Amino acid sequence: MKIEIPSLARIEGHARLVVDATNGELKECRLEVFESPRFFEGLLKGRHYRDVAPIIARICGVCSNSHTLVSLAATERALGVEISEQTRNLRRLLAYGEILQSHLLQLYFMAVPDFLGVNSIFPLAKSRRELVLRALRLKKLANDICHLVGGRPVHPVTPCVGGFSALPTAQDLLELRRRLVTAVPDLEATVALFATFEFPAFERETEYVSLGADDGYPLLSQTLVSSDGVRAVAADYKGVIEEYLVPHSSAKFARMTRETYAVGPLARLKTGFDKLSPMARKVAAALGLAADTVNPYLNLLARLVEVVHCFEEAIHRIDDILVAGLKQPAIAVPDGGGQGAAAIEAPRGTLFHAYRYDERGCIAEADCVIPTAQNLANIEADLRALVPALFDLSREELTRRLEMLVRAYDPCISCSTHLLRVDVV
């Protein structure tokens, strides 16, 4: 039996799945990434630090805020720019907004159709109108966080080196806070919905990697940790992550201690289970998630737990900002170059950027490691472990299970192919 899904649907970007199994033996199992690389270094080389984040954000529409935030942090470290506590809080708020919009899009638009037997959310507008209305309300609220803080949900415009070029008003933040609080019933209904879904039983333990939980649930810590005991400074990621090429993919694969590792919601949950917000911890318990969960399909539920966590944390960040009082701090960027690296937990996992700037403040060298590229080898390993147990299923059901597994990782193919190592001499 040979299964080829030429263009996987309900994921971000273009990938093909090829499974070849004859006489109960798995011959081939490849997740082929055939999206064209865009050679982003062509855009970055020689560009001034003011332009780097706006250009790099264009790697990915879904995680443009994460790329922007980590890019700014790497540039600020390279150039020795200090940022204020208010900027730190606003950036966290923006990061929560992006994780929320990305996770909610994945959960409701990409994953829910698998469980309700439809090909997209669109037919549910008639048959399950309350579900679609709730999905739209939650997604809009997430996008409104990004809009208010970043100026626009896709490719933000206000974040800049040193801070923000424009700030939300206190009144807008208060109104946003009010809406976040009133979203709780929608969150409860979402949890109730996902609690009814049956997930395929499949366990494969792997190495789980995320930023550390030293300053709360993994988001912006400067340490990188793995379930196999790796402890590193996140900015020194090149010393612990090895990237390599495979013939069938235009995205690079990555390994750490083992041949494959996983980043993303489940990995973060393992690192930061004790740091989840109170409401998120209750939801995790209700959904049967624990720090030792190893079923990759349950990345979906971990994503939902993170949705609840981000809603609660967003409210706290708004309080922090308002209590301190909003002000526009002066931004000072010292002359000269330097090098620096930073990491962030993007919706799909740990994202690294590293830059070297010349004396004019222009890019001489850039490197990025993308969450989905780190997950690709692990997804293939999951598929290889999963397929032999499913030989008895019909072709359709087997295909559905495999697609669901890939989808559980919420791969972002645009990201994984659109920025690759750059060593400009």
Partner 1 sequence: MMAPTLHKPRIGFFDFTGCEGCQLTVLNLEDEFLELLELVEIVEFREVMSGGCERLDIAFVEGSICTPGEAERLRAIRAKATTLVALGACADTAGVNALGHFRDLRELRREIYGGEHPPALTDIPRPLNAIVTVDHRLPGCPIDGREFLAVLQALLLGRPPQLPTFSVCVECKLAELSCAFERDQVCLGPVTRAGCDALCLAAGDRCRGCRGVIDNPRSGPYYRILAEHGLTEEDILEEFRTFNVPGRGGHR
Instruction: Decide whether 154 or 173 has the Cβ nearer to partner 1.
Output: 154
Q: Taking contact as CB under 8 A, which single stretch among the options 103-111, 302-310, 337-345, 390-398 is the one that binds partner 1?
A: 103-111
Of residues 328, 356, 318, 348, the one with CA closest to residue 413: 348
Report CA torsion sign: 302, 303, 307, 310.
Answer: positive
Helix (H, G, I), strand (E, B) or coil at 221: coil
Ranges within 108-127 binding partner 1 (CB under 8 A)? 109-110, 113, 119-122, 125
Q: CB of 406 within 8 A of CB of 379? A: yes
Q: Is 151 in the site for partner 1 (CB under 8 A)?
A: yes
Residue from 16, 88, 137, 204 binding partner 1 (CB under 8 A): 137
State how beta strands 338-346 and 349-357 pair.
antiparallel
Cα 183 to chain centroid distance, Å, stands at: 22
Q: Is 99 in the site for partner 1 (CB under 8 A)?
A: no
Instruction: Using alpha carbons, list the distances in angstroms from residue 405 to 207, 241, 260, 387.
Output: 18, 24, 16, 11
Ranges within 15-74 binding partner 1 (CB under 8 A)? 34-39, 41-43, 51, 54-55, 58-62, 64
User: Cβ 323 to partner 1, closest distance in Å?
Assistant: 25
Instruction: Show the site string, 235-274: x = touches partner 1 by CB under 8 A, - = not.
Output: ----------xxxxxx------------------------
User: Cβ 291 to partner 1, closest distance in Å?
Assistant: 32
Q: In what order do the strands lie in the sheet with 25-33?
A: 2-5, 15-22, 25-33
Q: Is 162 in the site for partner 1 (CB under 8 A)?
A: no
Instruction: Decide whether 208 or 357 has the Cβ nearer to partner 1.
Output: 357
Q: Both ends of the chain: CA-CA distance in Å? A: 49
Instruction: Decide whether 341 or 412 has the Cβ nearer to partner 1.
Output: 412
Ranges within 358-377 binding partner 1 (CB under 8 A)? none
Of residues 137, 143, 311, the one with CA closest to residue 217: 311
Of residues 59, 70, 62, the one with CA closest to residue 37: 59
CA distance 105 to 419: 23
Could you tell me how many residues of this chain bind partner 1 (CB under 8 A)? 66
* Binding interface with partner 1 (CB under 8 A): 7, 9-14, 34-39, 41-43, 51, 54-55, 58-62, 64, 101, 105, 109-110, 113, 119-122, 125, 132-133, 136-137, 139-140, 143, 151-155, 157-158, 160, 164-166, 245-250, 414, 418, 420-424
